[in-house]
Amino acid sequence: MSLARKLLPPLVSGTLFGAGLTISGMTDPARVRGFLDVFGAWDPTLVFVMGGAVLVMAVAWRIRRRMGAPIFAERFSLPDRNDLDGRLIAGSILFGIGWGIAGLCPGPAIASLALSPLSVLPFVLAMLAGMAAQQVTSLMPRRRQAVTE
């Protein structure tokens, strides 16, 4: 597979995703915090953005079922796990807290680098540090609890 064929789909889809986030206003932390403020000045815009994403993915999943193989890859890369563990739950809670405080998550933060890099740079640096810390901790052996009968 050529390098262009390998890199073009993620570049186009990432650009489209970033443009969609920008056009919908999801790169504005105040808009996201407004969505989370359900007992105050609630802003429902994010519901419509999520709804649009769900509709697009519903169509994509139906199309994928009918395809033998993807167009730009040799095989589909789908999740093969469906278990919940403490690390996943704790990570989800930390993600939600950070999203609520900062009003940003990784996608909008990266898109915001093009619009207002100085205001979002601390978040992106903290996000990268968190990703690096996760990589380090994932290399550490996990303690297994003994099963008692």
Q: State the Cα–Cα distance between residues 117 and 93, nearest whole angstrom.
A: 27
Residue 39 falls within a domain, yes or no?
yes
Question: 29 near 104, Cβ under 8 Å?
Answer: yes
Domain of residue 87 covers 3-139
pLDDT at 143: 64
pLDDT at 114: 85
What pTM was estimated for this model as a whole? 0.68
| Letter string b/e over residues 9-26, b meaning 16 or more CB atoms within 10 A of that residue's CB | eeeeeeeeebebbbebbb
Residue 147 falls within a domain, yes or no?
no
Side chain identity, residue 12: V
Q: State the Cα–Cα distance between residues 49 and 28, nearest whole angstrom.
A: 13
Residue 146 falls within a domain, yes or no?
no
DSSP letter string, the chain: --HHHHHHHHHHHHHHHHHHHHHHTTT-HHHHHHHH-TTSS--THHHHHHHHHHHHHHHHHHHHHH-SS-SSSSS----------HHHHHHHHHHHHHHHHHS--HHHHHHHHHH-HHHHHHHHHHHHHHHHHHHHHHHSPPPPPPPP-
pLDDT at 101: 87
Number of domains comprising the chain: 1
Give the pLDDT of the chain (149 residues) as one tens digit per residue.
688 878 888 899 989 988 888 888 888 888 888 988 889 889 998 899 889 989 999 999 999 889 888 888 888 888 888 888 888 898 899 888 888 888 888 888 888 888 888 989 999 999 999 889 888 887 877 665 555 55
Residue 49 falls within a domain, yes or no?
yes
pLDDT at 1: 67
